[in-house]
Amino acid sequence: MFTSFFYLLRQVGIPASPTSFLRLQEALRQGLITSIDDFYTAARTLLVKSERYFDLYDQVFAHRFEGADLKEPEEFELNEVAKTMLEEWLKDPKGMADALGVDEESLNKMSPEELLQYFLDRLKEQTEEHHGGSKWIGTGGTSPVGHSGYHPGGMRVGGVSRNKSAVKVAMDRRYRDYSQEGPLTQAQMGEALKRLRNLVPAGPKDVVNVDETIYQTMKNAGEIEIVFDRALKDRLKVILAIDNGGWSMDPYIGIVQTMFNYARAQFKELKTFFFHNTIYDNLWEDPARYRKPQPVEDLVRRDPETRFIIVGDASMAPYELMATDGSIHIEERTRKPSYERLQFIADTFPHSVWLNPKMAEEWPYTRTINMIREIFPMFELTVDGLEAAVTYLMNGN
Amino acid sequence: MQEESNANGKFKGATQYVLDEELAQIVNISMALEMPLLLKGEPGTGKTMLAHAISEALDMKLIVLNVKSSMKLVDALYQYDTLTRLNDSRFGDSTRNVSRIEDYIKMGKIGQAFASEEKVVLLIDEIDKADTDFQDDMLDVLDQMEFDIIEIDKTITANHRPVIIITSNAKKDLSDPFLGRCNFHHIAFPDPDMMQKIVQVHFPDISKELLDASIRAFYKIREFRGIEKKPATRELINWIRALQADPDFKVKHLIKGDLPYLGVLFKKSPDYAASRQAASRMRI
């Protein structure tokens, strides 16, 4: 019963398991489901295990039971892709009209259906990916059709087409949102940072060591001698140094901020410093990098077991890294080149890594990244990268 | 909000809980199929309250297991009190039989739920705080409805399968095997209409003006920018309580955009400061 519905759910990408489908059968058998509304809720609670799929479920349900149009599985994706692709074109209604070869007024008179048809025709004419130009569907071009909003008739394009070639374009980014390699989300970051926990006996002595207690009691001729052990507590010390200056880091500050919040809950001892581009004589405790300097030399007084994590894009002019007085801040006069400072940190803290929000494939093209990679092991600021970084930090290298 | 009765073991709502039909249906299905129900949703959507409501409505005892990050599964099942036993064996002045280890086993929350003579509601609150192993192991126990006490080599089997409600704060996804064994529901943040009902349940004789004005203000306040922790239902209810307690307060203050007691809504000092600023610029 309802097998096709089940397969349809799976087809559109909802990970419904066979076991859960059997449970749905069980619910039906027990007479728990007496109406279509019941079935809607029951099937959802049993088959769909994340709110992310609720919308998709609704669409499939509407298709299967109310006869609504269901898009081809690929086109669920196209919907999103078309939206982003077309948004660009839609910023300029006049350009659209020009591209169509009609004036803006007559374009306004087109009904949404006509405009839709126009878009479909364009898709059919198109046989390959196309970038630029003024007629074809692709990227970087102009065309009068697109997703809702701009057209006075308010048409929505996403997902109505059945043309495979456009889907090909869509395929380019189909799984981007699910990939582990995309920018970090909060949830992923928390997971990854958790691996940094290093259980070492350092908590208060409040756990009874039963074996030892029995032994000591026996030794004491039955007079009870209770032996306490230290509770296992996470006492890993972590220093985070974050590049929070300059436009080049701007897009990543949000991600890094997330990392902060998680990190703070994660460790007992966490020190956060800021720097701009690279580290010179001082790190800064305040994000404005003005009031509270922390001389790099003083870091030597800290526990060498501390994990030193630097977050930055490591992209700058080579002289900033190599020259004495390399800082781009005029007031910051330095005695040693940053290169040596970084080397010093790496020597002081054997457990140190550099996390780079730039993706690894871009690294070879920036000279300073290559230079810094000689000092610190560098990892991407992604879940995969972070996992590798944590593994590295825990290996005791 | 109590509708008819909760006879024949079906859940229809409780005195202090506004239930939408969909959720009631889900609870009933989960109970009939004897499956744990996993509830997700942002804080303040009444996940925890649901368990309380079920226990009240069906007249079952509620056992709450508050999950902590350091928790081990065995803590939730039972505890072997070695220290008391050692003490008893030395001084021998208790009524317990030292040679019976069983006397020194204390049941944890899950253990209590299993051992109970009557059917109970077991609320496992904020499961996402624990690590993945804990979650999976716990589901094994809940699946089989039994666990072993190693010290006395005894298997505890549940007398009645408890109604299990599990909540998660949506910070991260739970593992697939875990999800596979639960029913799932996501509680969305109540819309203003629903919120009106909720407030009315808590304040049966609230005036219409105050109800409208406070809820409208509340949803505007939730949209303030730069707020780390948005106020939720609990904060709104406390806020209204504070407004009602103030003899000088008039509803028209709210309508004019004068928002007193923001400290009730915002618990973090940066949030409080930001909300003060935003409120001074706001008109309702």
With a CB cutoff of 8 Å and minimum separation 6, the contacts of A260 are: A240, A242, A272
| Chain B contact probe: residue of A40, A49, A61, A214 with most B CBs at under 10 A | A49
Q: What pLDDT shows up at residue B63?
A: 92
With a CB cutoff of 8 Å and minimum separation 6, the contacts of A305 are: A237, A351
Burial class (CB in 10 A: 0-12, 13-18, 19+), A148: middle
| Chain B contact probe: residue of A39, A40, A45 with most B CBs at under 10 A | A45
Q: What are phi and psi of B276, to 5 degrees?
A: -60, -45
The fraction of chain B above a pLDDT of 90, given in percent, is 5
With a CB cutoff of 8 Å and minimum separation 6, the contacts of A140 are: A88, A131, A132
Q: What pLDDT shows up at residue B284?
A: 47
Find, in chain B, the residue whose alpha carbon is nearest to that of A26: B33
* Cβ–Cβ contact A324 with B under 8 A: no
CB contact under 8 A, B22 and A41: yes
Find, in chain B, the residue whose alpha carbon is nearest to that of A25: B33
Tell me what the mean pLDDT of segment A391-396 comes to: 70
* Cβ–Cβ contact B30 with A under 8 A: yes
Residue B103: Cβ within 10 Å count: 17
Burial class (CB in 10 A: 0-12, 13-18, 19+), B218: buried
For residue A386 the two structure tokens come to 């972070």
| Residue B14 DSSP class | B
Instruction: Name residue, tokens 């949102």.
Output: A177
Instruction: Name residue, tokens 């949209």.
Output: B223
Contact A80, A51 (CB under 8 A): no
The span from the CA of A152 to the CA of B15, in Å, is: 50
Instruction: Say what the alpha-carbon torsion angle A332, A335, A337, A340 is, to the nearest 10 degrees.
Output: -130
Indicate whether A199 pLDDT > 70: no
Strands B146-149 and B120-125, bridge-based pairing? unpaired
Contact A299, A345 (CB under 8 A): yes
CB contact under 8 A, B29 and A194: no
Instruction: Name residue, tokens 């929070």.
Output: A244
Window 58-87 of A: residues touching B by CB (8 A cutoff) are none
Contact A100, A115 (CB under 8 A): no
Q: What pLDDT shows up at residue B45?
A: 78
CB contact under 8 A, A41 and B182: no
Find, in chain B, the residue whose alpha carbon is nearest to that of A46: B183
Instruction: Say what the alpha-carbon torsion angle A196, A199, A200, A204 is, to the nearest 10 degrees.
Output: 120
Query: Would you kindly state where each structural domain of chain A is located, as residue ranges?
Result: 3-66, 73-178, 208-232, 236-394
Contact A231, A207 (CB under 8 A): yes
Q: Report chain B residues whose CB lies below 8 A from the CB of A223.
A: 90
ipTM topping 0.90: no
pLDDT, tens digit, for every residue of A313-340? 888 888 888 887 777 666 666 778 888 8
Q: Report chain B residues whose CB lies below 8 A from the CB of A186.
A: 171
CB contact under 8 A, A49 and B180: yes
The span from the CA of B218 to the CA of B190, in Å, is: 12
Q: Report chain A residues whose CB lies below 8 A from the CB of B175.
A: none
Beta bridge partners of B163: B121
* Cβ–Cβ contact A23 with B under 8 A: yes
The span from the CA of B201 to the CA of B1, in Å, is: 7
Q: What pLDDT shows up at residue B91?
A: 79
Find, in chain A, the residue whose alpha carbon is nearest to that of B179: A49
The fraction of chain A above a pLDDT of 90, given in percent, is 2
Q: What is the CATH number of domain A236-394?
A: 3.40.50
CB contact under 8 A, A48 and B37: no
Q: Report chain A residues whose CB lies below 8 A from the CB of B169.
A: none
Q: Report chain A residues whose CB lies below 8 A from the CB of B30.
A: 45
Tell me what the mean pLDDT of segment A17-44 comes to: 84
Q: What pLDDT shows up at residue A85?
A: 39
- Answer left, alpha or beta for residue A133, where phi above 0 means left and psi between -120 and 50 means alpha: left
CB contact under 8 A, B180 and A217: no
The span from the CA of B55 to the CA of B16, in Å, is: 12
* Cβ–Cβ contact B28 with A under 8 A: yes
Instruction: Name residue, tokens 């526990």.
Output: A303
Strands B183-186 and A282-284, bridge-based pairing? unpaired
Window 221-260 of A: residues touching B by CB (8 A cutoff) are 222-224, 226
Beta bridge partners of B120: B61
E strand or H helix that includes residue A283: strand A282-284
Helix (H, G, I), strand (E, B) or coil at A130: coil
Indicate whether A173 pLDDT > 80: no
Find, in chain A, the residue whose alpha carbon is nearest to that of B86: A224
Indicate whether B33 pLDDT > 60: yes
For residue A115 the two structure tokens come to 């405009």
- The C-alpha angle with vertex B2 and arms to B1 and B3, in degrees rounded to 5, equals 105
| Chain A contact probe: residue of B19, B23, B171, B184 with most A CBs at under 10 A | B184
When CB atoms are compared, the residue of B33, B37, B186 closest to A23 is B33
For residue B60 the two structure tokens come to 């079952």
The span from the CA of B103 to the CA of A291, in Å, is: 62
Burial class (CB in 10 A: 0-12, 13-18, 19+), A203: middle
How many angstroms separate the Cα of A389 from the Cα of each of A392, A397, B236, B241? 5, 11, 43, 50
Residue B76: Cβ within 10 Å count: 24
Q: What pLDDT shows up at residue B64?
A: 92
* Cβ–Cβ contact A19 with B under 8 A: yes
Who wins on pLDDT, B4 or A263?
Answer: A263
